[in-house]
Structure 1
Amino acid sequence: MKSKGSKYTLLLGTALLGFYLQANSIHAATTTSSNGQPVTDNVTPLVQTNKDEASTPQATTDWADPAQYQHDVPVQILGINDLHGGLETTGSATIGNNTYSDTGTVARLAGHLDSAEESFKAANPTGTTIRVEAGDMVGASPANSALLQDEPTMHALKAMNFDIGTLGNHEFDEGLAEYMRIVNGGQPVKQYNEAAMAYPHVKSGINIITANVVQKSDGQIPFGMQPYLIKEIHTSDGKVARIGFIGIETTSLPILTLYDNHKDYDILDEAETIAKYDRILRKKGVNAIVVLAHTGVSTDKEGNTKGNAVDIIKKLYQIDPNNSVDLYIAGHSHQYANATVGSVKLVQAIYTGKAYDDIIGYIDPTTDDFVKGSLVSHVYPVLSEKDAPNVKTDANVTAIVQDANRRVAPIINKKIGEAAKPGDILGRLHNTATRENAVGELVVDGQLYAAKKAGLPADFAMTNTGGVRADLHVNNDRSITWGSAQAVQPFGNILRVVQMTGAQIVKALNQQYDEDQAYYLQVAGLHYTYTDQNDPNQPYKVVKVYDQNNQPLDMQKTYNVVINDFLAGGGDGFSAFKDAKLVGIVGQDTDVFIDYITDMTNKGNLITAPVMNRKIYMTAAQLAGETTKHNEKDQSATQSVTTQTDKVVNQPTAPVVVIPATVEQPANTVQLNAESMRKAGTNNASVNNSLTNLTPVGLNSRTNRPTNKQAILPQTGDNDELSWLLLGTSLMSMTGLTLIKRKRKQA
């Protein structure tokens, strides 16, 4: 009986342990998406970066051999993203390991697209070229487009034969209705400047598709847009093939545009929406599928490709490992990318017309799918006439730009001020290591000045760097024009003065340091020190904040802060601004910046680049050294007071306020770093009492949701599963001990 009992106990323990492991394995392998579809967690497609070493399609050696695809349909996809009305925008473009200078302008872009198409058709006489865009064609535009409601940009796209596009976040800048008006060539429904009202309102011919933007009222896609488009291709030799395009908006839209512009819409999950319409297209027999998605990605010089678009494709594979998506044209992050995720080609062509995507493949007309191995993707720079004299600048597009310039010239060429010296004051493409830039700080200096001028005394000003769009161009005679200032602040956002506590301000500053500092602030009226912390979701924390009089920020005191209405709505994820109480309205940011330059010039304060010392990074060791020096100074001052009472001595400086890390805790609790507080020599009660409404470790401090970088740390486990595990393990252990004891007795 004892022998059999031990065996039964062992069997029972093993069975229970196996039951637990099986249940846990199933749980780990499959979860459910928000639309009820199963998501298989163990499907992880390989990410492989594709090399871009050639600067032109003609110099590329890895195109598929057309001779191998005589029975198939040749297709070329030419794509762009994030044009932002950059009719004449130029700059450097880094693609792979190569950096090209003086790239861009729509006239040069048009010439390069034509050259790429000619090269393709020379090798594939029956081929078809389709031109597409992945959003943000308009918005944050220079004056020659923005002053004309971006209609010159739509005219240029029409002249370049763009056929299909999707929505970016900037298509919502003036409301989706206004964007659809300029797409369709309708008459303005609002009164704009005289030049804009007189500009020709012409239909662009672009089919705008979006699958995941739906009206909250009825779940329908607005303005009659379609979720996908099927393009039927007829070749000159009688072949017919079909290719499907799906349009996708970023789910980050609510933090990227004003509340009134997105409040009527739901933005559905990107991967789930792609999977849904991928299935629909396959049921229709369409298996060659292209996604146009305004979601970011980047490929660095080390060959690493990462970003939201990669995560979306990985999730798509989890939802449907057998999906038929072949190509994903990305946008939004303004960076270069060329990779293959699973079997999906993924590209992004920087921004403002500095580069373009060129993808060539062959569709089997019997399956309506790309022949395996035939699809090749590349990204090329839009080279200047000097660097590519064989590429013709498009005359029609040039005429569109020149016409726009003529119409807005009286406005943009007006002198508004002077700089102390010639040469541009540089912006966000020339950030310091601490994410400061000269023109950004000039902007917030102007906003702080404007608030006080309007009778709304403000302590600080902060703006999102995404709203500071360009360098401030200064002419050789040191003059600054209206157009140069407008290019820096093109949105016309409303500036408001709001009340915030010191703790709320610190929270906003700390929100710069999640998401790899993708979103950060330019600040005026304060300066601060930040240091490292051991949290992959937020690797830095703010530890000292001072006002312009070098006084430490009081966590409980209320301050007046100038922000724009984009930030007031939690834009760029700065949720700390959302609950701030409105004190008053200053005006539009564009007008404020222009007026600031004029006022300073009239007062004899010629415009100069600010000294960028408002964000100071220190290592933990440097910070500890500063604190030690400070304490020694305090001690020395105290001794001096006690030994020299008959002399006037300097009072010790105010104690340093050490702010705990914003690895935030649940509401109404504070977890201070005791060691850092001890080193800082402070036990400031106001710090303890004011830092509330904080978020648990592992959550995004903006959304209170698990971050993509790291899931919430595991808890002690599910009680039911743990009970089975412990019971099974205990029974097996008891059996083992019983057997050992019996053997000893027998011995």
Structure 2
Amino acid sequence: MKSTPNGLRKLVVSLMIPMMVTSGVATLPELALAKAGTGSTEVDNYRTPLKQPEYQHRTKQDKRDIPVQVLGINDLHGGLSTTGTAYIGSHQYQNTGTVGRLAAYLDQAQNQFKRVHHSKNTFRVEAGDMVGAAPADSSLLAHESTMHALRGMKFQIGTLGNHEFDRGLPEFNRILHGKKAGAGADALVQHYPNEPTNMKIVVANVVKKSTNKAPYGYKPYLIRKVKAHGKTAKIGFIGLELGSLSDIPPAKNVKDYKILDEAESIAKYDRILNKKGVKAVVVMAHTAVQTRFGETAGPTVDILHKLNKLDPKNNVGLYVAAHSHQYANGMVGKTRVVQALSSGKAYDDAQGYVSPKTGKFVGLKAHVYPVLSAKDDAKVKTNAKVAAIAKDADKRVGPKVNVVIGKTAGGQSITKSTTKSLENAIGETVVDGQLYEANKPGGLKADFAMTNNGGVRSDLIPNAQGQITWGAAMAVQPFGDVLQVVEMTGQQIQDALNQQYYNPAFFMQVAGLKYTYTNTPGGKQHAKVLKMTKTDGTPIDLATKYRVVISDYIHTGGDRFYAFKNTPTLGSLGTDSDVFVQYIKDMATANQPLTAPKPDRKIYQATGTTLTLPTSAAPVAVK
């Protein structure tokens, strides 16, 4: 693993601590901010493009150049009805989201552009993770409801994210093209109407190992003509998957594909496009970035720096980023980079011109805007057609989603708000449940349970009566990963915990154990484990073998937790979703409402202090 520079490490940790989740899908995905490239930033102060000064009027350029608009989203994650807080620049907007509102704002932006510039040169694009890690109104319908919403919102071009591989790329391709589900599909899926999205998928750096070509006939790029006042030009759209894809979905779903270098792939196809007379290029890429404290940083910035070295004359004018679920709007060299949060809470609107003489972008601007609620912006009417898709999906899954399975203490939500030591209440509730279910009479028996932060996707939010519904539980654990009990030595457990501290974007929630850690300035990892004990204080011996509940995802090294790979499997508990639901039911039967655990499982020990060990050992100075 690569170490994370100190400045970016602070950035990553700072964005993880709030977790910015109010409902639906969490804002922190399984990202990897590996290097510390930076770019300049743009300020987004306006709630809608109707207020944006430079978007209000025609200019002299309208007479000589061709006006174009690119409307983009990323990481929708099946968020048909998801709402939450949108943090855009220094502004905070409450209750943003839902596809009905998103559709309305896309329509508003496009209509404004058409009115001002008398142009129909608008393209709607998305940058991956359309589906996966989604609420029940998408996941229970095999995400076909989300495909219907994307069709209703008239998205034309998209690329692949890591979650398009969750159920295997063949399944994603099925729903993309509106094909019937297999005979073994759930009745909800069997009865859902099939419609193609009419979206073209472009991906330049995913190829099948057997053919060295993109799967399912996907193209690395598309060319589209634009025209105005009798003049024409071309725009190229390149799609890009994140380079670390192989570390994220289930291994069986990516084993047949090669993931090529991002910058090298852009450079290759930019040159091809250039030879075809295309000198205005848009990249839609499922690669992470964030604008924060006056800097734009993350892998996207590093990719563009590398691209500019490989191909200094490249024509990439706009880069629509994704994966980290953060706000971004900045310049990296000559390229505008944007990212619009996640789950339909925001969108980006890029406007500018293509010169018919040079074929290049000129005067390209981009801004990110919130998807405001009807209460906060009553003048924008919700798109009834798209809202009806979400309403229909809710109705179809309602009988299952609304079944009450338990309750929380005092009707309180159990949240993903994360401490400085990277503990959060809902994550620890999940692993507490896994350990409890493993140790029920007749169970597999386990000493500990551990899960990656990316496997826990939402707060646990009870209904108005303080009851936990099946849908609320499924929003927390939507993947259906298989839980396994594996055998690990104490040393392997310590190695897994230490792997959190190579890249703080990936961390563990633990049950049945506690540990003390300290920082390691200048080392390959920014912290290390000093001491591990069971919950009752019994030391964990490095040579002793223990039984640990983990998901099949991290058992294959997912999220770069390689210490779990090849550990012997002793049995399976079932899917994480089913186990969590059963745990809530068991607590209800025992009349024990769920309560947020106390965050005392990861204890920080400052460098230069004395660590107290068990009485059989002498105190040790922490260096």
TM-score (norm 1): 0.77
| Displacement after TM superposition at 1:46 (Å) | 7.6
2:460 matches 1:467: no
1:406 matched to 2:406? The reply is no
Distance 1:191 1:365 in 2: 54
Q: Distance in 2 between matches of 1:537 and 1:355?
A: 36
* Offset at residue 368 of structure 1 (A): 2.3
Aligned position for 1:226: 219
Q: How does 1:556-571 map to 2 (within 5 A)?
A: 556-571=543-558
Partner in structure 1 of residue 141 of structure 2: 148
Q: In structure 2, do the counterparts of structure 1 residues 679 and 47 end up closer, same or farther at CA, with 3 Å as the change threshold? A: closer
Q: Give the match's secondary structure for 2:409.
A: coil
The equivalent of 1:202 in structure 2 is: 195
- Between the aligned partners of 2:254 and 2:574, the Cα distance in structure 1 is 22
Q: Do 1:551 and 1:654's aligned partners in 2 also have CA atoms closer than 8 Å?
A: no
Shift of 1:369: 1.6
Greater Cα offset, 100-109 or 119-128:
119-128
Query: What SS does the aligned partner of 1:483 have?
Result: helix
Q: Which amino acid aligns with 2:223?
A: I
CA distance in 2 between counterparts of 1:336 and 1:190 reads 41
Q: Is the 8 A contact 2:124 2:156 kept in 1?
A: yes
2:324 — aligned with what?
333
Alignment of 1:282-301 (within 5 A): 282-300=274-292
Aligned residue number for residue 311 of structure 2: 320
Q: 1:90 aligns with which of 79, 83, 105?
A: 83
In 1, the alpha carbon distance for the partners of 2:520 and 2:622 equals 16
Q: Which runs of 5+ in 1 are unaligned?
A: 1-43, 631-651, 657-676, 682-747
Residue 478 (structure 2) pairs with residue 521 (structure 1): no
The runs of 4+ residues in structure 1 deviating greater than 4 Å are none
Question: Which residue number corresponds to residue 168 of structure 2?
Answer: 175
Match of 2:337 among 346, 362, 366: 346
TM-score, normalised via structure 2 length: 0.92
| Counterpart-to-counterpart distance in 1, 2:119 and 2:373 | 30
Letter in 2 for 1:505: I
**Equivalent residue number for residue 378 of structure 1:** 367
Equivalents in 1 of 2:193, 2:185: separation in Å? 14
SS in 1 for 2:337: strand
Is contact 1:255–1:572 with CA below 8 Å preserved after alignment? yes
Deviation (angstroms), 1:108: 0.8
Per-residue Cα deviation, 1:655-693 (whole angstroms, up to 9, x for no partner): 37xxxxxxxxxxxxxxxxxxxx85379xxxxxxxxxxxx
- Please say if 1:581 is aligned against 2:573: no
- Which is further off, 447-456 or 586-595? 447-456
Which residue, 542, 545, 548 being the options, matches 2:532?
545
Q: Which of residues 654, 672, 679 in structure 1 aligns to 2:621?
A: 679
Change (3 A) 1:283 1:318: same
Higher strand share: 2
Q: 1:139 aligns with which of 132, 142, 160?
A: 132
Structure 2: distance between partners of 1:548 and 1:334: 35
Match of 1:426 in 2: 415
> Alpha-carbon deviations, 1:20-48, whole Å to 9, x = none?
xxxxxxxxxxxxxxxxxxxxxxxx99821
Q: Compute the displacement of 1:539 (Å).
A: 1.5
After superposition, the Cα gap between the structure-2 partners of 1:509 and 1:186, relative to the gap in structure 1 and judged at 3 Å, is same
Question: Is 1:246–2:234 an aligned residue pair?
Answer: no
Provide, for residues 188-210 of structure 1, a one-character-per-residue CA deviation record: whole Å limited to 9, x for no partner: 12522211110001000110111
- 1:592 CA displacement: 0.3
Closer/same/farther in 2, CA of residues 215 and 190 from structure 1, 3 Å limit:
farther
For 2:60, give the aligned amino acid: Q
Query: Hey, what's the Cα distance between the residues in 2 that align with 1:413 and 1:78?
Result: 35
Q: In the alignment, is the contact (CA less than 8 A) between 2:37 and 2:299 conserved in 1?
A: no
Answer yes or no: is 1:68 the counterpart of 2:55: no
- Determine the C-alpha separation between the residues in 2 that align with 1:65 and 1:398: 32
Which residue does 2:45 correspond to in 1?
A: 53
Greater fraction of residues in helix: 1
Alignment equivalent of 2:266, drawn from 274, 284, 287: 274
Instruction: Report the aligned-residue RMSD.
Output: 1.7
Deviation per CA, 1:65-115: give whole Å up to 9, x if none.
Answer: 632211211111000000000011111111111111111111111111111
Task: Tell me which residue corresponds to 1:731.
Answer: none
- Runs of 5+ in structure 2 lacking a partner? 1-35
Distance, in Å, in 1 between the alignment partners of 2:56 and 2:545 is 65
Q: 2:437 aligns with which of 436, 450, 472?
A: 450
Q: Give 3-state SS (helix, strand or coil) of 1:598's partner.
A: helix
AA aligned to 2:527 is: Y
CA contact (8 A) 2:38 2:296 kept: no
Preserved CA contact (<8 Å) 1:143 1:486: yes
Contact persistence 1:499–1:558 (CA under 8 A): yes
The residue that corresponds to 2:589 in the other structure is 602
Amino acid at match of 1:355: A
Task: Give the Cα–Cα distance (whole angstroms) in 2 for the partners of residues 550 and 91 of structure 1.
Answer: 40
CA–CA distance in structure 1, aligned partners of residues 272 and 59 of structure 2: 33
Cα distance in 1 for partners of 2:435, 2:484 equals 11
Identity of aligned residues (%): 52
In structure 2, C-alpha distance between the alignment counterparts of 1:603 and 1:68, rounded to whole Å: 73
Distance 1:142 1:606 in 2: 23
Partners of 1:380 and 1:209 lie apart in 2 by 25
Pair 1:655-2:617 in alignment: yes
Which residue is 1:5 aligned to? none
What SS does structure 2 have at the residue aligned with 1:475? coil
Q: Which residue of 1 is the match for residue 6 of structure 2?
A: none
Distance 2:225 2:509 in 1: 49
Structure 1 residue 217 corresponds to structure 2 residue 210: yes
Residue 405 of structure 2 aligns to a residue whose secondary structure is: strand
What is the one-letter code of the residue matched to 1:470? Answer: S
Contact 1:285-1:367 at 8 Å conserved across structures: no
Secondary structure of the structure 1 residue equivalent to 2:529: strand
Are the equivalent residues in 2 in contact too, given 1:249–1:294 (CA < 8 A)?
A: yes
Q: How far is 1:535 from its partner?
A: 2.2
Alignment counterpart, residue 497 of structure 1, candidates 481, 485, 506: 485
2:294 to 291, 303, 308: 303
Check if 1:121 corresponds to 2:110.
no
Amino acid in the other structure paired with 1:257: P
The answer for the alignment partner of 1:4 in structure 2 is none
Amino acid at match of 2:394: N
The reply on whether 1:479 has 2:467 as its aligned counterpart is yes
Q: How far off is 1:309 after superposition? A: 0.4
Distance 1:432 1:421 in 2: 22
